[in-house]
Structure 1
Amino acid sequence: MNNNHNITVSSFDTETPSPTRKRAFPKKWLYGAGAVGLVALIAYTLRPQPLSVDLGEVERGTLQLTVDAEGRTRVRDRFTVSASVSGNLQRISLQAGDEVEEGMILAQIDPLPITSQVEATQAQLQALQAEMSGVETQRPKPEALREADSRIESALARKRQAQAQVEEAESAFNQAQRDRDRSQTLWEEGVIPRQDLENAELRETQRRRELNTAREQVAVAEADIQGAREQRANLEAQQQDPDYLLDVYQSRMAAVEAELEQLSADAERTNIVAPSSGQVLEVLEKSARHVNAGTPLIEIGNPNQLEIVIDVLSTEAVRVQPGATIQVERWGGDTPLQATVRKVEPSAFTKTSALGVEEQRVNVIADFTEDQVPLGDGYRVEARIVTWEEDEVLKVPISALFRCEEDWCVFVKENGRAQRQKIDITQRSDRFAAVKSGLNAGDLVIQHPSDEVTSGTRIQGE
């Protein structure tokens, strides 16, 4: 036991002396400090938290104003090959996509019916030529005309003779009248007997009859002259009638010759050829059947020469100018294609929108800037037509703008708080607006600010 006791004492002797104990604080102080800490914790917990917002940066860069619309591609030079004549179309063996060369036969129409029409028209022309040759036989012979002239001269001679006889008969009649008057006077005086007076009266009556007969002969001669002249006129008319018939036949022959020429040309056009080199875009009439002249058969064109047709609202078309740049998007590739406006068509058309609203729209025609584009005829594209563009423009996201009375305002982040700022803007696109004054490059603005955001609101966000 003594050994143990010594060990214990030795153990105590080797321990390091404990430090001097400090003076303890009163308990009430400890309770007070705890209460203050608890209040501070509660206050920190209940204080408003910063509002989470979506921030956008004001920066300098290129700003574009665009007219966005759907469009479609089409072959620039599209040829619709139609039947040049009516007839039986033979089956077309070409397929869409086949290469064709200018002058290559695309389709054929059976020429047999046209050939038959050509032969029938030729026979009709020959018949007219034969009939016209017989017209000359219908003219009066020259002898008939000379005979008519002779009859006229003979009648004139008889008239002259009759007129001479009239003059002679008139003289004789006048003398007979004087003799009868003298005999009348002598008989009344008793110089001559009654028989001499009667003889004088008889001679007067005979001379009157002879005068009337001579006058009738003149009338007969005049009638003969009139008849001969009418006969001569009829012969002259008959001489001219064949001229009229010749004109009629020549006109008919000219019409038949024109018809024959047309039929001959139609016979040559039964082979329908390609007007240009390219590819078959579509076969409109594949099967053999009877077609009329003008029936569309095949469409051909060069699919490597594409253009874009973009229909835009007429209110937007006024801002599009030839030469404007176009970005072609959502065509199926990763990067946009580039194009240029060639023309804005002068006439608008009415189109019903998906909502059933009638709109006036205008076609904008554009050309790709690349020689080869991986598109085909009739492909759908989305086009962004640049109507205004400027570099190094101070621009703010359009989603940060809101109206404050008559001005435009934004909320700017300053020292963790939102501050309302009036700004002046000029051009606006669908994403950015050009800032004239009120902001600087690098400012952070709140995009899509809600009603909770006011000046002084604590915010957080990126």
Structure 2
Amino acid sequence: MAQLQKQTVRNFFRRRPKETSATVTRQRIRLPRWLPYGLVGLGIAVLVVLAFRPTPIPVDVGTVTTGPLQVTIDAEGQTRVKDRYVVSATVDGRLQRIDLEAGDQVEANAVVAQLDPLPLDSKVRMAQARLQELRAELIGVDTQRPKTEALAQAAARLQSTQATQQATAAEVEETRVALEQARRDRTRAQNLEPRGAISRQAREAAELEEDRLVQELAADEKRLGSAIANVSAAQEALALLREEQRDPDYLEDAYRAQIRGVEAELANLVDEADRTTIAAPISGTVLRVPDKSARFVQAGDPLIELGNPGELELMIDVLSTDAVQIEPGDSIIVDQWGGPEPLTATVSYIEPAAFTEVSALGVEEQRVNVIGTLSGSRAHALGDRYRIEARIVTWSGDDVLQVPVSALYRCGESWCVFVVDDDRVQPREIAIDHRSTMAAEVTDGLQSEERVVLHPSEQLQAGRQVKAR
């Protein structure tokens, strides 16, 4: 740098040869030799200061305002008809094709579905024929008394079965004694064979004899059981014949009981046959027909849903922890229903029982249905099971000092904000009360029109310079 300055001075004097030596002396005084070094050092210092000076942090800034505030619980829901009637199949049978369409109007007691009555009519005729048969048998009870020959045959059969039982019992006992002897022989043979007293073949023969007698005893015992059962059957048959011989009124009572049973069955079949014609319970609109095709249905299968689409209510499911904050009469603001402006409704009641639902994240949640009543003339634009987004107002105020929720952060057990003053931030502890998704009510620590930092980051510190984005 010094060499450059010297060369500059020389060039200066060369371009101006007419100047005197006094003038050159004055010019050299004006350009001291340390001046270039000083200028360079000053520039470096300025650059260092600029490099290490903290730059303002760009932040989003919000304002503390005073105005209306609502605390809401936001949830999805759907509309539904207040009084829904599900017309179901009354009996099992083949359903004829349903001619109604969703949206059709029906009158009370009008036929809406028809089941094929032929199978039931056949059962009715069969029951009637059975009833006539039983009545005829009741008349002929006296002619059905047991004959002497039948009693003699039953007694002879009993004696025969008893003799067979005794013979079989004797065979069982004989086989049991032989089996006990065979077991002793087998034990003796097993002890003698290792000592060479008998051959292996003799020992195996003793074992085979024992096995044969075990099987023979099992067969004899089975025949004995069959003989005992035959004796019991013969005794019961003989006792029944003697009872019928002594008391012919027994059959009359039996036939009368059967007649009463068939009469009850016949009445039930007639009732079921009458219920194959299915009528509408109310006057209303067909909301849904699950399946119009002819098919076989069982009793209780839904066929048609009826209701009045003009009488709608809201069904909003909320978390059970939020449901305890809701009371009947709270206002409901209905958004995202398809119209240009929100609808209004009122909470009618909260269902007393919760249900379990798995969230999109796979977490089981306990939820409760909140039922609301729509109001306003535009509610007729909605239909059954339309999706809506609802905001249930649990608290509201008209002149509330409020701060954006995004400005809050935790400082210990309290809430704090960063207040912007002269482009610098200062942390301040505040007290809040009611809180919505966008703003919180300030009860202490802030004043209206004060500016606060939104979404404060960890870079912010007391006194740090900021600039609004």
Provide the rounded CA distance (Å) in 2 between the counterparts of 1:449 and 1:89. Answer: 68
1:59 aligns with 2:59: no
Match of 2:454 among 441, 447, 452: 447
Checking the alignment, whether the CA contact within 8 Å between 2:91 and 2:300 is kept in structure 1 is: yes
Aligned to 2:394: 387
Q: Distance in 2 between matches of 1:421 and 1:393?
A: 20
Q: Confirm whether residue 303 of structure 1 aligns to residue 309 of structure 2.
A: yes
Q: CA deviation at 1:457?
A: 4.0
Q: Deviations over 1:366-410 (max 9, x none)?
A: 222346332222222212222233332211111111233433222
Q: Distance in 1 between matches of 2:359 and 2:83?
A: 29
Deviation, structure 1 residue 289: 2.4
How far off is 1:49 after superposition? 6.8
Measure the CA separation in 2 of the matches of 1:309 and 1:365. 5
**C-alpha distance in 1 between matches for 2:54 and 2:290:** 74
2:384 counterpart of 1:377:
yes
Give the deviation of 1:137 after TM superposition.
8.1
User: What is the RMSD computed on CA atoms of the aligned residues?
Assistant: 3.5
Is 1:69 paired with 2:75? Answer: yes
User: Structure 1: how far apart are the matches of 2:259 and 2:332?
Assistant: 62
Amino acid at match of 2:70: Q
Residue 288 of structure 1 pairs with residue 298 of structure 2: no
Give unmatched runs, 5+ long, in structure 2: 1-25, 146-242
C-alpha distance in structure 2 between counterparts of 1:399 and 1:111, whole Å: 70
Residue 463 (structure 2) pairs with residue 456 (structure 1) = yes
- Kept in 2: contact 1:285–1:296 (CA 8 A): no
Instruction: Look up the match of 1:85.
Output: 91
- Please point out which of 311, 315, 322 is paired with 1:316: 322
Q: Which residue of 1 aligns with 2:15?
A: none
Aligned sequence identity (%): 53
The answer for the alignment partner of 1:398 in structure 2 is 405
Partner Cα separation in structure 1 for residue 138 and residue 256 of structure 2? 8
Alignment partner, residue 106 of structure 1: 112
Q: Which structure is larger by alpha-carbon Rg, 1 or 2?
A: 1
Q: Please state whether the residue corresponding to 1:251 is helix, strand or coil.
A: helix
Give the letter for the 1:392 counterpart.
Answer: D
The 5-angstrom pairing of residues 237-248 of structure 1 reads 241-242=248-249, 244-248=250-254
Q: Which runs of 5+ in 1 are unaligned?
A: 1-25, 140-235
Distance 1:443 1:293, change over 3 A: same
More displaced stretch, 412-421 vs 376-385? 412-421
| Whole-angstrom distance in 2 between the partners of 1:248 and 1:439 | 95
Give the Å deviation of 1:92. 1.0
Quote the residue 1:155 is aligned against. Answer: none
- Mapped pair 1:346 → 2:355: no
Contact kept? 2:424, 2:463, Cα under 8 Å: yes
Deviation at 1:416, TM superposition (A): 4.4
Say if 2:332 is the partner of 1:330: no
SS of 1:354's partner is coil
Distance in structure 1 (CA, Å) of the matches to 2:290 and 2:262: 35
Matched, 1:250 2:262: no
Offset at 1:111? 1.6
Aligned counterparts of 1:62 and 1:255: Cα–Cα separation in 2:
76
1:291 Cα deviation (Å)? 2.3
8 Å CA contact 1:329–1:383 kept in 2: the answer is: yes
